[in-house]
Structure 1
């Protein structure tokens, strides 16, 4: 049996800038010092219950759409909720939001669903607010590294 841990990144990236955020999360998660973690990204419309059931931790990424999460991430939650409800309690997760405004409604919506799933936040959500900044890329890379390194060290 493999000792490798699985980090699943389910992130909606409808634009070049949000694509850069996903790439940054993956770059951080695949840092050379992280030895025993396999990290992969799936768009929300492609991820399903089996992907979540095989994960040891998950990073969720979404845009802020009219004060809510992306429809693609909501669709993901709709499809995985009941198949994963009993099996993934305690799953560590992190969230990043690309918010044109403040991200409050998006954060609240995701936290409502993850609370229902009984997933455990590994850190406070990362909210990338306002006009796009290079700091968002750095922050997302650190998020990916933090999650993968924590899995690698057995903290998560």
Structure 2
């Protein structure tokens, strides 16, 4: 039986390294759980995503590296290109964030939260900050975050 997906989770993830690509893959894996029948996951790099992608989604998961205490330039570029096109149309959009931070990630978190507040998107949980040296558990945490977001979208609780 082929069930038609009627909800979309958009994952916009900056993944310039092997480790961050693992995180992006973990996000896709979580949102593609076999028990999810009505959610389609679309994964895009920030430089490939635009306002049309945001307008088509029911929830968004953002992933970025910490770059000099700020979000990646690619994610900032995505926000710059999309902000005004989606501002009035996607208020209340459920969102979540993961940050791959070599340091503490708080500057990155503040920067993204500032833009998301301006867009009037709705956080479904506090940002996930993956701090310090790489740990294999980071992929499990991103997979769980993505899966939780996708199941919440499918069940209509967000």
**Same fold judged by TM-score > 0.5?**
yes
Local SS of the residue matching 1:47: coil
Deviating 4+ runs (over 2 angstroms): none
1:70 corresponds to 2:99: no
The whole-number CA distance in structure 2 between the counterparts of 1:3 and 1:60 is 21
The whole-number CA distance in structure 1 between the counterparts of 2:7 and 2:136 is 30
1:92 corresponds to 2:73: no
Alpha-carbon distance, 1:3 to partner? 6.1
Local SS of the residue matching 2:90: coil
Aligned position for 2:42: 40
1:82 corresponds to 2:84: yes
Any conservation in 1 of the 2:5–2:40 contact (CA below 8 Å)? no
Where structure 2 has 5 or more consecutive residues not aligned to the other structure, the ranges are: none
The whole-number CA distance in structure 1 between the counterparts of 2:6 and 2:131 is 34
Aligned position for 1:105: 107
The whole-number CA distance in structure 1 between the counterparts of 2:42 and 2:8 is 8
Aligned length: 155
Alpha-carbon distance, 1:145 to partner? 0.4
The whole-number CA distance in structure 2 between the counterparts of 1:46 and 1:132 is 26
Q: Please, what TM-score do these two structures have when normalized by structure 2?
A: 0.97
The whole-number CA distance in structure 2 between the counterparts of 1:34 and 1:127 is 26
Where structure 1 has 5 or more consecutive residues not aligned to the other structure, the ranges are: none
The whole-number CA distance in structure 1 between the counterparts of 2:55 and 2:134 is 33
- Call closer, same or farther: CA 1:22–1:78 in 2, change over 3 Å: same
2:138 to 136, 143, 148: 136
Any conservation in 1 of the 2:5–2:37 contact (CA below 8 Å)? no
Alpha-carbon distance, 1:128 to partner? 0.3
